A and B are shown apart, each in its own frame.
Chain A
Amino acid sequence: MTDLIRLSDVEKSYVRGKEKIVIFDKLTMRIEAGDFVAIMGPSGSGKTTLLNLLGGTDRPDKGAIEFDDKHIEKLSEGQLTAWRSVNVGFIFQFYNLMPILTAAQNVELPLLLTKLSPKKRRENVATALQIVGLEDRAKHRPREMSGGQQQRVAIARAIVSDPKLLLCDEPTGDLDRTTADEILSTLQTLNRELGKTIIMVTHDAEAAKFAKRVLHLDKGRFDERELAA
């Protein structure tokens, strides 16, 4: 397998008041294409910061982040935005759907950034909703759907533009066990059948079992043995 993502000596810190908080100090890791990685760790260990760096919504202070052999830390703000729209799908804990839009319109949102015709966009939206089993809910607004259904819409939105990487931040954190397992099964299917590389941050050990491997992050460092495995 080839590496989809490589982090080399990444440093990231925040300044809170007069205090400098170091999140990562020379973090190095790689993730292969087609992997499904669960990242676990206590609060403040840097899980969400890592997702932000991988997704290009935040920048490292130092070090390199390569995606498909492309250094994304060197991209301008505009280039990074464009890169994100093509390569990364995001799934959040609280779904983050637009309440004013229907399920289909929410899923269509990333496609507004493409040059696809309205007809082609509608076809892609229908396919994405079909993959997550919500084709009959296309015209429903988020408030008319359950939490699990909303998260499925969010997954459809994440995959509609066919990105290589899916970044999931506590995707089942707001769901009951049964619904959470359904969502995780869907992610597993996307990984196995569509070859999506998935990086999922979670506190839930049960959720982590759906991943191919689990990495534990603590104080900005991964367990070296897990990384090497």
Chain B
Amino acid sequence: MNDFALVSKNLWRKPVRTILLIISITIAFLILSLMLSFNSSLSNVNTLPTRMVTLSKINFTESLPIAHYDRIARTEGVRAATHMNWFGGYYQDPARGFLPVFAVDPETYFQVYAEDLGIPAAERDAFFRERTAMLVAAPVAERWGWRVGQRIPINSNIFTNGTTGSSTWEFTLVGTIPTPPGSSQSGSVLIHYDYFNETITFGRDRIGWVPFLTTSAEMNDSVANAIDQRFANSQDETSTQDEATFNESFAAQLGNIGLVITLVVSAAFIAILLIVGTTMALAVRERTREVGVMKTLGFSSGRVLRMVLAESLLLSFLGAAVGLGLAALILTVLASSGGGGGPAISFAPIVIAWAALIALALGLVTGLPPALQAYRMRIVDAFARR
């Protein structure tokens, strides 16, 4: 036997209580891990320093007239420009997840996103040629079991197809986009803007946003100012930003991710803090006599303090480890099923570092009060207490 064995035996003195505590801590760390991984995946999307985006000054969902695109493309310092629309897609059943379908201008899109589209020339040319063609990120095709050449009905939960009167469009899958980690194309589904624009019943000749490349990163600010000033005081004012900022604001459409993470995780951890702190204090109080016996036998107050702290830390790290393990498992399962769309969420190594730090803090904060109580406990008082 050694001190660690004694700490471990004390921890498992009441197994049901310990298991319930571990479950509580596990849930908190599961939430933390999933949210941090989600946030990390969103912020780790590859960006180009010369790639910028112009969108409506009001917000991301407000469209712009297509004429804006031509003017932006002709702005001094713009090397290449394209435009995109949000289609709002799903396949068969919206409950099974949304598809991030973008209506794009194929040729210019391939100029602006050349680095992220490592697809064979034959598939690229097929996409250019065929107005009903569709390109999808490889994990999306894999998830739904789509094969190249297949006709795929995609529904929109925003637009109506004027030719059929339904919300369904049929596309031919002509190729898949490989999506290495961090690819900006993770989860993407690309369709032709022209086909989309001609068939929708409202919002025709409007575009969602304009991604473009500048001739150099040093030009970014001046180009952004020139574009935004050009449309100032018009009906459709613009906001031009670099790609990283745009990605963040895109993610912010789902809510202020950082704030949500902070609030949810804080609420979870405050609750856990109170539960674990109270239980640890109670557990040590139950052992008042035993603490007295240990001190009588010659265990120093410092050693008793360390043992109580170690028990609390062990509990915290056990819960954290199980929570991290579950999060890794869930993210692996999600990744293997292709996800519903959007950036691929993977278990970020930074999550382990954060979880370790938080587990340490949780263990110390919940363990310190009872440890100090045990440290200060006088032997005569320990035996006098009933």
Contact = CB atoms under 8 A, between A and B. Distances in A.
B299 A113 contact: yes
A13 interface: no
Given A108-B1, A112-B3, A58 B379 contact: yes
Interface in A110-138: 110, 112-113
Interface string A17-57: 00000000000000000000000000000000000100101
A84 interface: yes
A112 to B, nearest CB: 7
A112 B6 CA distance: 10
Nearest to B287: A98
Contact of A85 (B289, B298, B379): B298
A57 B380 contact: yes
Contacts of A77: 301
B293 A96 contact: yes
Interface residues of B, number: 23
A115 to B, nearest CB: 13
B290 A85 contact: no
A4 interface: no
Given A90-B296, A109-B297, A96 B289 contact: yes
B13 A100 contact: yes
A55 B296 CA distance: 8
Contacts of B9: 100-101
Interface string B186-219: 0000000000000000000000000000000000
A211 B60 CA distance: 92
B16 to A, nearest CB: 15
B1 A81 contact: no
Interface string A94-110: 00101111000100111
Nearest to B10: A100
Interface in B350-386: 379-380, 383
Contact of B297 (A52, A58, A99, A110): A110
Contacts of A105: 1
A110 B10 contact: no
B24 to A, nearest CB: 22
A174 to B, nearest CB: 14
Q: Main SS of chain A's interface residues?
A: helix
B10 A84 contact: no
A174 B177 CA distance: 80
B175 to A, nearest CB: 64
Interface string B1-42: 111001001101100000000000000000000000000000
B300 interface: yes
B124 interface: no
A110 B289 CA distance: 16
Nearest to A83: B298
The winner among A82, A86, A90, A100 for most chain B CB atoms within 10 A is A100
Interface residues of A, number: 25
B68 interface: no
A112 B1 contact: yes
B211 to A, nearest CB: 64
Contacts of B1: 101, 105, 108, 112
Given A100-B10, A101-B9, A110 B380 contact: no
A70 B271 CA distance: 53
B83 interface: no
A37 B298 CA distance: 24
Contacts of A113: 297-299
Interface in A64-86: 77-78, 81-82, 84-86
B380 A90 contact: no
Nearest to B294: A109
B51 interface: no
B295 interface: yes
A100 to B, nearest CB: 5
Contacts of A78: 300
Given A98-B290, A112-B2, A58 B298 contact: no
A85 B297 contact: yes
Nearest to B293: A96
Nearest to A169: B383
Interface string B285-314: 000011011111111110000000000000
Interface string A134-161: 0000000000000000000000010000
A106 to B, nearest CB: 10
A57 B10 contact: no
Contacts of A52: 379-380
B237 to A, nearest CB: 71
Nearest to A98: B290
A49 to B, nearest CB: 8
Contacts of A58: 379-380
Interface string B269-292: 000000000000000000001101
Contacts of A157: 297
The winner among A55, A98, A105 for most chain B CB atoms within 10 A is A98
B132 to A, nearest CB: 71
B296 A84 contact: yes
B285 to A, nearest CB: 16
Contacts of B13: 99-100
Given A57-B379, A84-B296, 13 more contacts: A52-B380, A55-B296, A57-B295, A57-B296, A82-B300, A90-B297, A92-B293, A96-B292, A98-B290, A110-B297, A112-B1, A112-B2, A157-B297
Q: Which 5 A-B pairs have the closest CB atoms?
A: A85-B298, A57-B379, A100-B9, A96-B293, A110-B297
